[in-house]
Structure formats: structure tokens, C-alpha cells
A and B are shown apart, each in its own frame.
Chain A
Amino acid sequence: MCTIGFLVNPFAGMGGAVGLKGTDGMVEAALARGAVPRAPGRAAETILQVADIGAHFITCSGVMGEDILAGAGIPGYEVVYRPASETTGAADTMAACRAFLDRDADLILFCGGDGTARDVYSVIGDLVPMLGIPAGVKMYSAVFAIHPRAAAGIVREGCTPGGKFLLRDAEVVDVDEEAYREGSLRTRLFGIAKSPYRPGLVQGTKQVFEDSDEERAKKDIARFMREVIEGTPGILYILGPGSTTAAIGEEIGLKKTLLGFDAVKGGRLIATDLNEEGLLGLLEEGTSARLVISIIGAQGSVLGRGTQQVSPAVLRRIGRENVIIVATPHKLAETPMVFVDSGDRDMDLAFGDHLSVVSGYRIAQRKRIGRVEGPERTSQVGGE
């Protein structure tokens, strides 16, 4: 039988309605502004649809899970963590996850936003697959299903007898909420989780015979990029964060950091985990360099988000034409549009209307660039 660790961050998504853009550390303020918790309703939408699959649920007491399982009539669930106060927080999420780990959960199903995803990931890493029921204000992380019902579909597929979770790498993105509330989006890749998915939902059309294996797609991209890198020994390559770029490092036989910007030249790793200063230091006048980055998280964002180290100054030194973007067909199928947000308007515009994204061995895909204008830009891609 399949054991599911289920938890709800009851306050996730509450800030949005009252204009707070995120609720981390702001629960009291949100409640004071009259916000109503919405995560429980979203979580219930998922749970009602998996009530009959015979999975074993382990959860937290009260609003953090039990109330919803009881409401849905889930038989035999078990409470393995009890928060001390009704106003639950990050510490409770993490403690619950540790309890789930102790009980050998097969899946952590959580309801919340990016903050919740980060808290879950910080405990479970990639040891246990995690799947998010979207309820937060921001959901840039790729561990979220597109809808509570889609989450239910994924759980059903993996948990019914004879079923199996298909897993893939999913970025957990950390958003600086302070800055976000001030109207600027600064994100960083926090980690790479394992997340279940349904190929049918990801793959585009059934009629097109596509490969369902994302790992294989990464290898194809990596094989191609290795040939490019080897064919241009005079160029300095800066490989950005993420598992697709990490696969390129692996293909060349280098130990690339998963979350950092590393520099490669002539087949050797010459610097790892570079910050803005480090990057500028490498990019002296006359250095011919290329930046290889992937699309990070679930919203199709390129540059800026998840890549703070690449400041406009760094980008100008590298030059738009030297930015190579890579992403698997699976990721691209979920990303109808990409958003370029380098922090520099002119640079963003230099990318034009379309982006060519390397998606396989000698194959690229053309993606439309979505334009997010003016001060409301965050709300348009904010996913709420």
C-alpha cells in the first residue's frame, strides 16, 4: 500500500487577496486585513478525488490536514504530528515532514505556495517525491500540479494497486518575499526535488510519438552541447543552475554544482558557484563567453528569476547573442510562453518576440516571449 504524507499550510495564499503577495511571516497581518484561508478548500478538492484509492494517509492534526481527511471520509488515516498553536508556521511544516520521513512516506502531498515547497524540500530533499496542491500566492516552483484536480490525477495514477509514480526533477524556487512585496521579483534556485507527473499531462499530444523519458531528453541536450563546447575550445562557457545544465557538466565529465553558475573552458572547470562579482571578474574585456541557462521553475522564466547572479552588467558583457537557453521538451510542453526578465528593459527587448530553446540533439524549439509590462508585471505571471 502507498503511504502519503499529507500536510496543509492553512495560511498559504491568504496574502494575495489582501494585496500582500505572499504570507511568509505575515499571517497576523493578513488575518487582520480580513483574509480568509483558502488552502483548506484547495486541498479538499484534491483529497475528495482520491478518497477511494485505498492509500494510507499520515498527516498533522487539525487545520494542517486532519480536518480535511476527516471531512472527506478518508478511512484509517493517522495523525503523526501535532502543531503547538493554531497559527502554524514553517517550523511546523518542517517538523511534520520529519515525522513523514520517519514513517517511510512514499509521497509528500502538500498544499501551499513556494514558501511551503521550500520548507518541505529543506527536510526531505530528493529522498521522497513531493507534489504540491497549488494554493499559494506565488508558485514558481515546478513541484506544483497545475490544478488541485490535476494533483488528484497524479496521485491516483501512482497509488492505485499496480501503479507507479513517474518521477522527474522539479526545481524548488526561493522567492525573496520582502523584495516581492516591494514589487520586484528576485528568485533563486533553492533545490531540485523529485516530483511525480503524468506524461499525458505533460507531453503535449498523444498522437505525436514523443519520448516520455525526461532524463533521456536531458542526455540528448547534453550530448549536443558537449559537441558544441568541444567544437569551440576558445570560448568560455558559463553553465547556470539546474539539472539540465548539470547534465551538460556530467556529459563533459565535470563536477558542476547543481545550483550555481560554473565556468568551463577548454574542457576544464575553471570556477564554480560564481556570484556577480566572480562572473564580472571572468568576463574581462575581449573574453568571448557564452551563458548556458535553462528555464527555471514552472512559469517559463528565463534570466532574472532564479538567476540573480547574472546582473544586467554581466549580461551586457556576455551579449544577448551569446545566451544559449536549454530545456527539455517536457518542460517546454508545460510552458506555453517564456518570460525574459533580466532586470534591464533594453536587454529584455533585445531578445525579440521569440526565443530559440535547445531541446534535443541538434534540435531547438521556438517559443513566444511573453511581455510583462509595467508595475503589474508580477501579478501577470504570479499564477494566481
Chain B
Amino acid sequence: MHTKIVLDEDHMPKKWYNILPDLPTPLDPPLHPATGKPLVPEDLTPIFPMELILQEMSQKRTIDIPSDVQDVLRLWRPSPLYRAHRLEKYLKTPAHIYYKYEGVSPPGSHKPNTAVPQAYYNMKAGTERIATETGAGQWGSALAFATQIFGLECTIYMVRSSYMQKPYRKSMMQVWGAECIPSPSTKTKAGTAVLQKDPETTGSLGIAISEAVEDAATHGNTNYSLGSVLNHVCLHQTVVGLECMEQLASVEDYPDVVIGCVGGGSNFAGISFPFAGEKLKGKHKETEIIAVEPASCPTLTKGLFAYDYGDVAGLTPLLKMFTLGHDFVPPSIHAGGLRYHGDNPTISRLVYDGVMKAVSYHQSEVFDAAQTFARTEGIIVAPETSHAVRATIDEALKCKKSGEAKTLLFNCSGHGNFDMSAYDAFYANQLVDYEYPEQLIRESLARLPKIPGA
């Protein structure tokens, strides 16, 4: 029985899978933030290259991966799929647990799967510099890595709490030649406004996005790049699920349950969209697809399905998605990459339509699971990833009770080698179990003006 299922390089996917044409309900169109009218591609050209804009709205079921992009992805792809024998034994579960390990990429997570094509299309379009935001620093370091390969400059607005917590992520960005700025900053109007209101803010992904978008929109040679949330990002991540499908087929298995943690949704989309596609096409109707989020930022489990901005300042298009409100600043949990008020519109739609479901966990619960995982499988996962680990362990324990030998698959989206301060806090009993006081928040919003289109 295999522990590690590896694909040969020439089995790396040559096309991305686009789920949009297979959706049961078409997505509501993104709206222009000023007019409230559906976006046209030209609206996005100040910040995105045309190729990515077309991918965002494409109805083609597959899209070719450029061979220059494939060459770079081959540095670590195909990534290994593991069978978690030791974890299974430890849990005494009849379930088969598989995990796709994306921590083998140079920056240590799934993020370069999209950073590389995004940098590539920008280079092709003549962009000189890319501005972006980063939460936990995973995305920032991934884009720094990718822009450096294609000879672009890169400016990264890093959420202030993470900037303090994870100095080595910032160092990595420097090694790969990018500039990293704590957000909110005084470099942008959006950042300055937040600082004026609240000089001691911990920052948030929503604020950092505002800064990066503003930077790109106000500099002719600069484009913006987003590491999650958007459809083209999720599209690029489908290499993960496509590889899993082939790897599992090679051991004659198929998942009953597919699990991933959700910040903006990209790693979850990456592993789940190919399987969701099969489900939608009626081939594997019973596959359960589970998104896992923090109890402190429970977008899919407690948010509203409505049009909202992607950022705090309201500069981005309005997206129809599950949202906790674009002005919600989530508490500083250690899984910085999951501190986002919204979610990818496609995932939102699929959860709304019942094709996927979502669960949430508290911080101390997920670190407990991460410890179990590290002590059985060895890998010390990122705090974000620990959410997926927790849900997988709970599913495996359910199998133990029911005696079912289900096949579980989760996306082990990144390693936690730069997140050891979070583990330290866990051992010092200092993890705060933040929650989202849902009912009170709904009541508090009762008197607020509605956003356009909502």
C-alpha cells in the first residue's frame, strides 16, 4: 500500500478546469461599484491584464496552461498525494484519509499555483510592476517568487498583525526581490483614512486589498493581483484537484468527502472544483464537499448571501457572495489567511445551492488537530490548513462510530514552518477562542444603510 502517490512530470495537467459552464445556477454578474451596473471587461483593464479578465468570465470548460507556466510549475508539481496511514491508525478509523500536500512549493503553500500564471500574463501584457496584499504572508511570498521569475517588480501590502507576527515571511519576500509594506500604510488614501480613524488598528485583508487596488489604479505601469476570491484564481488552483483525481485513480479510489479550509476560497476550490464538476455532471452524486472556516470569521456558515465589496474601502466590484460585511475586521486569529469577510462567488453559489457545505471551528480546536497531525504524519501544517485537518479528523471519527470505510481527501494547503509563534501560543494556553456574535451583529446592522444592489 502506497504512502506517497506521485505522478510523473508529464502527467502534470496541461489544462485548467473551469467549473462555470457546469454550474446549476449561473453566477450573478459582478457589478460596477459606482454605477451598480454589470461589469464589462473594459472596467477591469486598469488593474488586470485582458487574459485574466477573460478567464474570470469564461464559459469554456477547459483552458490551456501556457507552456512557460507549466515549466515553472514543474519546479514542484505534480505535488504528492499522501495516504495518512499513521493518522488512520492513531484514530483507529476505518476511513481512508488522503491529503494533497501543497507545502512542497518553494514558498510553502498552494499560492504559487496562481501567482505564476498571473505574473506570466502580466509580463505578456507589458506590466512592469504588480501590487498586491497579503494576509498571513503566504500569498505575498508566492507572488514575490513568481514576479521575480518573470522579471516584474512587486509591492506587497501586508496586514499589520501578520507583519508583526511573521517576520520571516517578510524576509522571504525580500529574498525574492519584492517590497513589503505593513498595512494600513500612509502610501495610499485608503490606508491613511483607516489610520486616521484608528491609528492602532491591526489591519485586515479587506484594508490591504483597498491599498493594493488603489496603488495599481493610480500607477499606469502597475497592475493588481489577488491571491484568492476571484474565479480566475480558483481556476488556476484546479491543478490540485485534477492531479488528485489521477493520483486516486491510480490506486483505484475516489473520495466520498473532499475537504479544504476557506479564506477567500482558492485552495478549497482547487481541490474541490474538479470533484464538484463530476458531482454536477451526475457522475458521483454522493460526494460530500466541505469548506472549513474559523468560528471568528464564519463567512459561509453565518454570513449573508448578497452583493458586497471585496475590500474595506469599497473600491472593488460588487460580488454576489457570502459576506460578513466589507467593514467587518475579523479578530487577529493566527490563521491570518482566513481573515476575510467574503468568499469566492462560485463557492458561495455552490454552498447556497447545497452542492457544498460549510463548517466552522475555534482556534484551540484546530491547533489540537494540527498537533495530532504533526505527531502522526510529521508535517507541521499552517494555521489555515489546521482547519481542514480538524474537519478531516472529525469525519474520520464519525466513520469510526458508524464503521464506514469512507475515503476522505483534504487539501494540506501549506506548511507552518514560519508560524511557530502560533504553536507557541497554543502550548502556552494563550489561544483565544474568538467567535462571531451573529445575532447581535444582525441587530446592530438593522439601522445601517444598504449597499447598492444588495
Given A208-B332, A360-B331: A366 in contact with B435 (beta carbons within 8 A): yes
Contact of A204 with B432 in the complex, beta carbons under 8 Å:
yes
Chain B neighbourhood of A336, CB < 8 A = 429
Chain A neighbourhood of B445, CB < 8 A = 227, 231
Flag whether B422 is at the interface (Cβ < 8 A).
yes
Flag whether B362 is at the interface (Cβ < 8 A).
yes
Flag whether B444 is at the interface (Cβ < 8 A).
yes
Contact of A208 with B444 in the complex, beta carbons under 8 Å:
no
Give Cα A208 to B333, complex, Å: 8
Residue among B295, B425, B432, B433 making CB contact with A207, cutoff 8 Å: B425
Given A205-B424, A329-B432: A224 in contact with B161 (beta carbons within 8 A): no
Give Cα A208 to B423, complex, Å: 11
Contact of B295 with A366 in the complex, beta carbons under 8 Å:
yes
Flag whether B2 is at the interface (Cβ < 8 A).
no
Residue among B160, B329, B362, B447 making CB contact with A230, cutoff 8 Å: B447
Flag whether B296 is at the interface (Cβ < 8 A).
yes
Per-position contact with B for A202-219: 1 when CB-CB < 8 Å, else 0? Answer: 001101111101001000
Per-position contact with A for B312-332: 1 when CB-CB < 8 Å, else 0? Answer: 000000000000000011111
Flag whether A254 is at the interface (Cβ < 8 A).
no
Flag whether B446 is at the interface (Cβ < 8 A).
yes
CB closest residue in chain B, given A367:
B433
Residue among B425, B428, B430, B437 making CB contact with A362, cutoff 8 Å: B437
B187: min CB distance to chain A, Å: 20
Contact of A205 with B430 in the complex, beta carbons under 8 Å:
yes
Contact of B200 with A362 in the complex, beta carbons under 8 Å:
no
Contact of A232 with B161 in the complex, beta carbons under 8 Å:
no
B154: min CB distance to chain A, Å: 24
Give Cα A366 to B331, complex, Å: 13
> Number of B residues whose C-beta is below 8 Å from A?
35
Contact of B435 with A365 in the complex, beta carbons under 8 Å:
yes
Flag whether A77 is at the interface (Cβ < 8 A).
no
Residue among A231, A329, A332 making CB contact with B447, cutoff 8 Å: A231
Give Cα A74 to B112, complex, Å: 63
Given A324-B440, A366-B433: A209 in contact with B447 (beta carbons within 8 A): no
Contact of B331 with A363 in the complex, beta carbons under 8 Å:
yes
> Number of A residues whose C-beta is below 8 Å from B?
31
CB closest residue in chain A, given B420:
A207
Flag whether A228 is at the interface (Cβ < 8 A).
yes
Residue among B329, B428, B432, B444 making CB contact with A332, cutoff 8 Å: B432
Chain A neighbourhood of B425, CB < 8 A = 204-205, 207-208
Flag whether A364 is at the interface (Cβ < 8 A).
yes
CB closest residue in chain A, given B330:
A363
Flag whether B250 is at the interface (Cβ < 8 A).
no
Contact of B444 with A209 in the complex, beta carbons under 8 Å:
no
Chain A neighbourhood of B433, CB < 8 A = 365-367
Contact of A224 with B440 in the complex, beta carbons under 8 Å:
yes
Given A228-B440, A336-B429: A364 in contact with B200 (beta carbons within 8 A): no
- Beta-carbon contacts under 8 Å, B6-35 to A: none
Residue among B200, B362, B429, B446 making CB contact with A211, cutoff 8 Å: B200
Chain A neighbourhood of B328, CB < 8 A = 362
Chain A neighbourhood of B202, CB < 8 A = 209-211
Give Cα A75 to B296, complex, Å: 53
Chain A neighbourhood of B59, CB < 8 A = none
Flag whether B164 is at the interface (Cβ < 8 A).
yes
Residue among B330, B362, B440, B444 making CB contact with A366, cutoff 8 Å: B362
Per-position contact with B for A352-383: 1 when CB-CB < 8 Å, else 0? Answer: 00001011111111110000000000000000
Residue among B161, B329, B436 making CB contact with A209, cutoff 8 Å: B161
Residue among B421, B424, B428, B444 making CB contact with A227, cutoff 8 Å: B444
Chain B neighbourhood of A361, CB < 8 A = 329
B379: min CB distance to chain A, Å: 21
Contact of B200 with A224 in the complex, beta carbons under 8 Å:
no
Contact of A362 with B441 in the complex, beta carbons under 8 Å:
yes
Given A356-B437, A365-B433, A366-B433: A205 in contact with B428 (beta carbons within 8 A): yes
- Beta-carbon contacts under 8 Å, A315-331 to B: 324, 329
Residue among A207, A224, A230, A359 making CB contact with B424, cutoff 8 Å: A207
- Beta-carbon contacts under 8 Å, A278-333 to B: 324, 329, 332-333
Give Cα A204 to B424, complex, Å: 11
B444: min CB distance to chain A, Å: 4
CB closest residue in chain B, given A332:
B432
Chain B neighbourhood of A224, CB < 8 A = 440, 444
B216: min CB distance to chain A, Å: 27
Q: Which 10 A-B pairs have the closest CB atoms?
A: A227-B444, A207-B421, A231-B446, A366-B433, A209-B161, A205-B430, A231-B443, A364-B435, A205-B425, A364-B437
Enumerate 19 A-B pairs (CB-CB under 8 Å) in ascending A order.
A204-B430, A205-B425, A205-B428, A207-B421, A207-B424, A208-B332, A209-B160, A216-B200, A224-B440, A228-B440, A329-B432, A333-B432, A362-B441, A363-B330, A364-B434, A365-B433, A365-B434, A365-B435, A366-B435
